Amino acid sequence: MILVNYAAAALVFCLGVYTVLTRRNLVKIVMGLSLMESAGYVLLISMAYRKGSTAPVLLHPPSGTTEQELAHGNVADPVLQNIALTAVVIGVAVTAVLLAGVVRVAQHYRSLDSDDVRELRG
């Protein structure tokens, strides 16, 4: 357990949610979503942590450890790190799509205020 990391993830997540819920500027909403995603990455990397472990690279182990020790599990969890990497890639794609949407909205509505962009309601 590395509490500071978990606390940081929670804090960044709350900031992101706060931004999405209270900011009316569409770009800020996208930023809020990105903050939420970043909180996810921090959470995943923290969950992959194991006390006294090294990076999950089996070649050329750091001094004082053998390859056998690494293969028997004293490494950070590579699957969670992989999931985090996947999430980074997805996050970039989704942010790009979101921002493209914002650009289009700005061109048509001449506004970035979410209160001006609510013809569909009820």
Partner 1 sequence: MSGASASLLPLAVAAPICGAIAAPLLGRLWTRLTIAVSMLALVVSCALLALLAPQVYDGEVLVEHVGNWHPVDGSQLGVTFAADPFGLTFALLAAAIGAILLLLTISELGDLGGKEMGGYACLFQLLVAALVASALTADVLDLFVWFEVAALASYGLTGFFLERPLALEAAFKTMVLTNMAAFFVFVAVAVVYAGHGALNYGQVYAAMAEAPRTADLVALGLVVGGFGTKAGLVPFHGWLADAHTAAPGPVSALFSGLMVNLGLLGIARFVFDVQAPNRGDVLGLLAVVGGFSALVGAAMALAQDDLKRLLAYDTVSQMGVLMVALSVGSPESLTGMTYHMVNHALFKTLLFVCAGAIVHATGMTRLSEMGGLARHRPLVTVAFVVGAAAIAGVPPLNGYVSLGLIHHALEGDHPVELFVLTLAQALTVAALARATYLAFFRRRDDDYDRIERLGAGMLVAFGLLAGACVAFGALPTLVLDHVVRPAAGSLVHGAEYARATLADGGRVTPAEATFDYADPRQALVIGGTLLLGLLLARWVVRHSEPSLLTAVRRAHTGSVNDYASYAVMGVVVSVAVLVLT
Residues near partner 1 (CB under 8 A) are: 17, 20-24, 26, 29, 33, 36-37, 40, 43-44, 47-48, 77, 79-80, 83, 86-87, 90, 93-94, 97-98, 101-102, 104-105, 108-109, 114-115, 117-122
Q: How far is the CB of 20 from partner 1 (least distance, A)?
A: 5
Burial class of residue 73, CB neighbours in 10 A (0-12, 13-18, 19+): exposed
51 or 121: CB nearest partner 1: 121
Of the pair 23, 62, the CB lying nearest partner 1 is at: 23
Cα distances from 48 to residues 13, 29, 42, 57, in angstroms, run 18, 29, 10, 14
Position of tokens 């990105």? Answer: 34
Closer residue to partner 1 in complex, CB, 19/60: 19
Which residue reads 């205020």 in tokens?
Answer: 113
Tokens of 25: 């500027």
Q: Which CB atom, from 16 or from 61, has the smaller least distance to partner 1?
A: 16
Shortest separation between residue 4's beta carbon and partner 1, angstroms: 17
Least distance (Å) between residue 63 CB and partner 1: 29
| Long-range pairs of 55-63 with CB within 8 A, sequence gap ≥ 24 | 56/81
Calpha distance 30→94 (Å, rounded): 10
CB of 64 to partner 1, least distance (A): 26
